[in-house]
């Protein structure tokens, strides 16, 4: 496994490789977990080589405390990536990748970026799209892999790839979960074992909503709010959306065309999840 810290050296190496091989790309912010490793495995199965980036992107955090407490576990990450046959790891500094101008671009993704995470984390998707665009320009992958846990991000990245007029295929990979149903997330490192046990009720509520999707949405939301409150979890949002444009809906479409999205706080840790309908 090769490790690069300079974008120019990586770009030069990948340009030579791309002449004869397909490149799979998995962008991460580190704190590698089984969800990330599933992305690596998916890339390995479909592409000749796999590139993984580790970069905690400052411009996609609307809360500076959230940025400061984001877990950094580089040594552990590299061991996991090597064990799972990642070919190349890119670990840039903020100044290297932003060229000493650490600012977000402004994107117009329409409604899709103004709701849910876009509403509650202003500027988040501009920051995310800024770094993904930069990474796509450096790596120039054949395919890029993103987890379905961040379903809104996945849809925006697809839109970004179209706007960039690239031939990069964006691949969504199903959410990996703990044995109790909690979605794998780097933020889980901030939870105690007791809190992880409490947090499992987020997914339990999503499963209840899916099973009872014919009930009114207000009934489902009341149930979820009350259930989570029992376990000291504060609901931030719960919405049923059309997957393609993330518009809120009241009437369900064909199977696999909608999702229930949720965000909630367990103490100071913010957790998101979704379930496809």
- Supply the residues annotated as catalytic: 36
Per-residue CA distances from 157 to 57, 60, 110, 150, 151 (Å): 16, 14, 13, 11, 10
Q: Angle at Cα 121 formed by Cα 117 and Cα 126, nearest 5°?
A: 85
User: What is the dihedral sign for C-alpha 87, 93, 96, 101?
Assistant: positive
SS3 63: coil
Distances (CA, A) of 169 to 25, 49, 109: 10, 15, 19
Burial (CB count within 10 angstroms: exposed 0-12, middle 13-18, buried 19+), residue 131 = buried
Classify residue 128 as left (phi > 0), alpha (psi -120 to 50) or beta: alpha
């Amino acid at each position: 496994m090769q490790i690069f810290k300079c974008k120019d050296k990586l770009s030069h190496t990948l340009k030579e490789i791309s002449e004869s091989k397909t490149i799979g790309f998995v962008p991460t912010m580190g704190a590698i977990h089984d969800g990330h490793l599933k992305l690596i495995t998916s890339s390995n199965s479909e592409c000749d080589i796999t590139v993984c980036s580790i970069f905690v992107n400052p411009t996609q955090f609307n809360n500076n405390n959230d940025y400061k407490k984001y877990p950094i576990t580089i040594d552990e990450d590299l061991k996991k990536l090597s064990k799972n046959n990642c070919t190349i790891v890119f670990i840039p500094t903020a100044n290297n990748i932003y060229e000493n101008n650490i600012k977000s671009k402004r994107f117009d993704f329409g409604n899709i970026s103004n709701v849910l995470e876009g509403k509650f984390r202003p500027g988040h998707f501009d920051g995310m799209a800024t770094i993904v665009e930069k990474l796509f320009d450096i790596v120039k992958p054949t395919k890029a892999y993103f987890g379905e846990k961040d379903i809104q991000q996945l849809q925006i990245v697809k839109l970004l790839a179209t706007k960039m007029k690239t031939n990069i295929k964006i691949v969504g990979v199903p959410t990996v979960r703990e044995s109790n149903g909690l979605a794998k997330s780097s933020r889980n490192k901030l939870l105690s074992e007791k809190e992880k046990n409490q947090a499992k009720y987020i997914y339990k509520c999503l499963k209840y909503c899916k099973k009872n999707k014919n009930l009114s949405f207000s009934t489902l939301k009341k149930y979820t709010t009350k259930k989570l409150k029992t376990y000291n979890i504060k609901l931030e949002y719960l919405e049923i959306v059309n997957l393609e444009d993330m518009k809120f809906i009241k009437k369900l479409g064909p199977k696999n065309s909608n999702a229930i999205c949720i965000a909630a706080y367990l103490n100071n840790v913010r957790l998101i999840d979704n379930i496809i309908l």
